[in-house]
């Protein structure tokens, strides 16, 4: 009873903390479902390198209630609650003790917010999927019950369906389970479960006639354009902070993985989930790794006579003392990124200037203006204003503007992505706007433009 009360207190404090922090829901979570629900197809009309997953399919996040920043914050809090319960369940199964289970949850509470835990993105949805896929993988290894193999495979396949960077984890974890189980039936069920989400997605893509476009954006574009232009390495500060909190877990993996099954399986999930952050390093992409860091760190500190134990205690305590005050000083508040008052007012102005059937266009300003105003982009084509997308999509967007001239354009000439001005890497589009449109109003940095008479 005492353990459950402590766990409940940790979960409550974590959930409450997330209501006090600034909130960063990625705009794609709102814009893509809005576009998909209005008939736009991924890759053919929505130019993006992710799988359609929970954003661009006909049934998506919008259909399950994620439509406003308030509902998005509830999603984030709900995911965190599930993560804590999953960590507790896994720890109890791994260690057979209460103390490591509570320690793992306490560690997760301490580090999750620091690694952009106030953001909601695809990585946030991956966390419970990977936790439960680990849980069923472990249960299958220990109990050899085939349904666990199927569920482990299904969840690994679902993780790949949500984000393709989990492919190395899917391959290695599945291979390890097949090798260690020595069960042909279990192996077959594992592979069947893994292929179900993937094959369903590919079948839908084939039926929509967008297989060629899908392959370009999710494979060719990712390797040839995004890997070159979208690459982002960690800063020295980010690398040091990550290493400080990951070091006990990584040390345990390197010292015990070949001797202990649980450490090896946890290590597989931790190390291979880091592939999510390889191409473009941002703290939010480390979120799927954090529960496994917490579990391995709890395992490490629960052992007696472990080399460097006191050293790592000092490293983590010092890191928390240095980072926590700075982090919370800069992140406590009510701000919601992309849904500021200027953006909301701009969307309202767009609604006043247009009818529901009239297209609009947004350049540099927040793309959530489309979903807030309930107006579609000109030409029924869309891409996020980042220069790696514009490298290949600008001409298609421009063609859409020419054949379906928008009544209203919203533009932010000061908008910068990774040090580059949006109007500079979208020069063709900006020139089109300059020639044909005149400014009638400005809300914050957002210019409201209409066609010249």
- Residue 132: closest CA among 115, 154, 117: 154
Q: Which tens digits make up the pLDDT trace of 217-260? A: 999 999 999 988 888 999 999 999 999 999 999 999 999 988 99
User: What does the H/E/C string look like for 82-133?
Assistant: HHHHHHHHHHHHHHCCHHHHHHHHHHHHHHCCCCCCCEECHHHHHHHHHHHH
Tell me the pairing of strands 408-411 and 446-451.
antiparallel
**Helix/strand/coil for 407:** coil
Specify whether 169 is located in the same domain as 264: yes
Specify whether 117 is located in the same domain as 254: yes
What is the dihedral sign for C-alpha 61, 65, 67, 71?
Answer: negative
Token pair for 353:
């200037």
Specify whether 253 is located in the same domain as 117: yes
**Residue 15, in any domain of the structure:** yes
Specify whether 323 is located in the same domain as 373: no
Q: Which tens digits make up the pLDDT trace of 181-209? A: 888 899 999 999 999 999 999 999 999 99
Specify whether 313 is located in the same domain as 347: no
Tell me the helix, strand and coil percentages in the chain, rounded to 5: 70, 10, 25
Distance of alpha carbon 284 from alpha carbon 265, whole angstroms: 23
**Residue 444, in any domain of the structure:** yes
**Residue 389, in any domain of the structure:** yes
CA-only gyration radius of the chain, Å: 24
Beta strands in 207-313 (DSSP E): none
**Residue 336, in any domain of the structure:** no
Share of the chain above pLDDT 90, in %: 89
Domain span including residue 425:
341-451
Q: Which tens digits make up the pLDDT trace of 362-383? A: 999 999 999 999 999 999 999 9
Answer yes or no: is pLDDT of 64 > 70. Answer: yes
Specify whether 309 is located in the same domain as 351: no
Q: What is the longest distance spanned by two Cα atoms in the chain?
A: 81
Given phi > 0 = left and psi -120 to 50 = alpha, else beta, which region is 184? alpha
**Residue 301, in any domain of the structure:** yes
Specify whether 21 is located in the same domain as 94: yes
Cα–Cα distances (Å) from 39 to 33, 110, 446, in that order, read 10, 42, 28
**Which pLDDT band, with edges at 50, 70 and 90, does 1 fall under?**
low
Answer yes or no: is pLDDT of 400 > 90. Answer: yes
Specify whether 317 is located in the same domain as 444: no
**Residue 298, in any domain of the structure:** yes
- List all residues 6 or more positions away from 185 whose beta carbon is below 8 Å from its beta carbon: 146
Q: What is the pLDDT of residue 182?
A: 85
pLDDT, mean of residues 266-271: 97
What is the dihedral sign for C-alpha 407, 412, 417, 419?
Answer: positive
Distance of alpha carbon 175 from alpha carbon 169, whole angstroms: 10
Specify whether 207 is located in the same domain as 289: yes
**Residue 215, in any domain of the structure:** yes
pLDDT, mean of residues 48-52: 95
Tell me if 359 sits within 8 A of 378, measured CB to CB: yes
Specify whether 412 is located in the same domain as 310: no
**Which pLDDT band, with edges at 50, 70 and 90, does 29 fall under?**
very high
What is the number of structural domains in the chain?
2
Tell me if 80 sits within 8 A of 288, measured CB to CB: no
Tell me if 422 sits within 8 A of 447, measured CB to CB: no
Specify whether 222 is located in the same domain as 357: no
Task: Write b or e for each residue in 231-251: b if 16 or more Cβ atoms lie within 10 A of its Cβ, otherwise e.
Answer: eeebeeebeebbebbbbbbbb
**Where a domain ends, among 331, 351, 380?**
331
Specify whether 122 is located in the same domain as 140: yes
Residue holding tokens 């006579």? 305
**Where a domain ends, among 310, 331, 352?**
331
Tell me if 362 sits within 8 A of 423, measured CB to CB: no
**Where a domain ends, among 285, 300, 331?**
331
Which of 125-129, 150-154, 258-262 has the weakest average pLDDT? 258-262
Residue holding tokens 């090896």? 264
Q: What is the pLDDT of residue 310?
A: 85
**Residue 28, in any domain of the structure:** yes
Token pair for 333:
């508040």
């Amino acid at each position: 009873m005492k353990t459950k009360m402590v766990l409940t207190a940790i979960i409550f404090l974590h959930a409450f903390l997330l209501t006090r922090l600034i909130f960063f829901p990625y705009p794609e979570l709102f814009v893509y479902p809005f576009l998909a629900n209005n008939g736009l197809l991924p890759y053919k009309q929505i130019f993006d390198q992710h799988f359609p997953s929970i954003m661009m399919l006909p049934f998506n996040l919008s259909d399950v209630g994620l439509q406003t920043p308030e509902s998005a914050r509830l999603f984030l809090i709900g995911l965190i609650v599930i993560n804590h319960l999953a960590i507790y369940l896994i720890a109890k199964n791994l260690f057979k003790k209460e103390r490591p289970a509570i320690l793992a949850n306490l560690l997760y509470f301490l580090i999750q917010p620091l690694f952009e835990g106030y953001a909601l993105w695809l990585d946030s949805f991956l966390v419970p999927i990977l936790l439960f896929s680990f849980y069923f993988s472990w249960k299958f290894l220990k109990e050899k019950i085939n349904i666990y193999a199927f569920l482990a495979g299904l969840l690994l396949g679902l993780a790949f369906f949500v984000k393709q960077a989990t492919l190395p984890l899917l391959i290695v974890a599945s291979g390890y389970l097949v090798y260690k189980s020595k069960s042909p039936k279990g192996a077959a069920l594992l592979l069947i479960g893994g292929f179900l989400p993937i094959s369903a997605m590919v079948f839908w893509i084939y039926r929509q006639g967008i297989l060629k476009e899908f392959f370009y954006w999710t494979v060719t574009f990712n390797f040839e354009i995004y890997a070159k232009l979208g690459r982002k390495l960690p800063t020295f500060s980010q690398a040091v902070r990550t290493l400080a909190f990951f070091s006990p877990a990584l040390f345990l993996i390197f010292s015990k993985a070949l001797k202990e099954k649980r450490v090896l399986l946890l290590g597989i999930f931790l190390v291979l989930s880091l592939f999510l952050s390889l191409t473009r390093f941002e703290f939010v992409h480390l979120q799927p790794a954090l529960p496994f860091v917490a579990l391995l760190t709890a395992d490490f500190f629960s052992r007696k006579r472990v080399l460097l134990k006191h050293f790592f205690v000092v490293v983590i305590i010092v890191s928390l003392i240095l980072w926590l005050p700075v982090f919370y000083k800069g992140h406590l508040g009510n701000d919601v990124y992309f849904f500021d008052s200027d953006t909301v007012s701009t969307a309202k102005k767009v609604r006043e200037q247009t009818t529901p059937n009239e297209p609009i266009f947004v350049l540099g300003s927040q793309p959530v203006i489309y979903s807030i105003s309930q107006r579609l982009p000109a030409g029924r084509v869309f891409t996020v204003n980042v220069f790696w997308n514009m490298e290949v999509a600008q001409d298609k967007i421009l063609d859409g503007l020419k054949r379906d001239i928008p009544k209203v354009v919203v533009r932010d000439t000061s908008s910068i992505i990774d040090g580059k001005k949006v109007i500079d890497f979208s020069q063709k589009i900006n020139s089109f706007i300059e020639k044909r449109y005149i400014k009638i109003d400005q809300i914050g940095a957002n210019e409201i433009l209409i066609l010249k008479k």
